[in-house]
Amino acid sequence: MKKILLASATILGVTLFALPSNAQQTATATIIDNNAKELGSIEIKQAPEGILLHVDIEGLPAGKHGFHIHEVGTCEDHSDFKMSKGHIGKGDDVQHGLMNPEGYEEGDLPNLIVSEDGTVEVELYVDDLKITDADDMDDDEVLLDSDGAAFMIHANEDDHMTQPIGGAGDRIACGVIESVTQKPVSKPAE
Ligand SMILES: [Cu+2]
């Protein structure tokens, strides 16, 4: 009986440790243009089953712009932002496009619709993605994996169907996703 009680206490201890660190996780990205000028930010909060984004950017061309999460967390080559590579979740068995029956890639997001004054502010929810995951940091759905991830804004509208990027064109703004809370220790000490 004593052994059973001890085992239960250990399981409870691990559960209690894991929940609060996950619930409070946040991250941020500073958005820059092709001249490395800062245009605004995207704040990320971890929700129980996905992430909540708060987009607040100015200085963009008015209209619809393809908006994605790319697989490498760098924007240093600001003239074309190619070093961030393709969308997260890109693979042989899945196509790009939220409206594509063969889709979608995890990094596919709705278009950003920029006002005539060049600003866009919107809150968006993205299913499945996680800021970190102490148990599986190599998972495609984890933003702060070993090579990180970056938000990308394209010159044109994403039609959510055409390969490989919905006809969204050049990469005009980029933001590296960075942790703002301490990364959780991978496992509690025994
Ligand atoms: Cu993209």
Q: 19 lies in a domain?
A: no
Token pair recorded at residue 12: 């409870």
Q: What is the CATH number of the domain that holds 172?
A: 2.60.40.200
How sure is the predictor about 183, in pLDDT bands with cuts at 50, 70 and 90? low
Closest to 85 (Cα-Cα) out of 66, 97, 70, 107:
70
- Number of structural domains the chain divides into: 1
Q: At residue 23, does pLDDT exceed 70? A: no
What range does the domain containing 103 cover?
25-179
Q: 40 lies in a domain?
A: yes
Whole-number Å distance, alpha carbon 126 to ligand 1 midpoint, is 15
Whole-number Å distance, alpha carbon 3 to ligand 1 midpoint, is 54
- Per-residue pLDDT tens for 70-86? 999 999 999 999 999 99
Closest to 42 (Cα-Cα) out of 32, 52, 53:
53
Protein residues near ligand 1, an ion, with CB under 5 A = 68, 152
Whole-number Å distance, alpha carbon 151 to ligand 1 midpoint, is 8
Please tell me what DSSP assigns to residue 3.
H
Q: 138 lies in a domain?
A: yes
How sure is the predictor about 184, in pLDDT bands with cuts at 50, 70 and 90? low
Q: 6 lies in a domain?
A: no
The winner for highest mean pLDDT among 21-30, 125-134, 176-185 is: 125-134
Q: 49 lies in a domain?
A: yes
Whole-number Å distance, alpha carbon 91 to ligand 1 midpoint, is 15
Q: Flag whether the pTM goes above 0.75.
A: yes
Pairing verdict, β 38-46 and 120-127: unpaired
